[in-house]
Amino acid sequence: MMRGMGNMQGMMKQVQKMQKEMTKAQAALNEKEFVGVSTNEYVKATFTGDKKMTGLSVVSDVIDPEDSEMLQDLVMMAVNDALSKIEKETEQTLGKYTKGMPGF
């Protein structure tokens, strides 16, 4: 009976260690900057790993009061590009911890 309890304690220690490593990896990811760009880099959107926008730059040549839809499209492209980069890096960084776990 005691033998099973030792295995359980060992597993719990492994889980706690994994949680600490995961928390540390997530914190490092949150501090990292991701820059998304549109076509020809007319628009750049900068985010942190926790998906908070920290910057947006637009090349003045693409600001046309007669064609605001083009600028909107370029902003969406840059934002979506940055979010895609965050998602990819998150999967690469944290995926090793969550592989095979239900709900992740």
Q: List, for residues 5-26, the tens digit of each pLDDT value.
A: 668 888 888 888 888 999 999 9
As a whole number, the mean pLDDT across the chain is 89
Assess whether pLDDT exceeds 70 at residue 44. Answer: yes
pLDDT one-digit tens code per residue, 58-70: 999 999 999 999 9
Residues 6+ apart with CB under 8 A from 22: 94, 97
Report yes or no on whether pTM surpasses 0.85: no
pLDDT band, very low/low/confident/very high, at 1 (cuts 50, 70, 90):
very low
Picking from 18, 27, 29, 23, the residue whose alpha carbon sits closest to that of residue 101 is 18
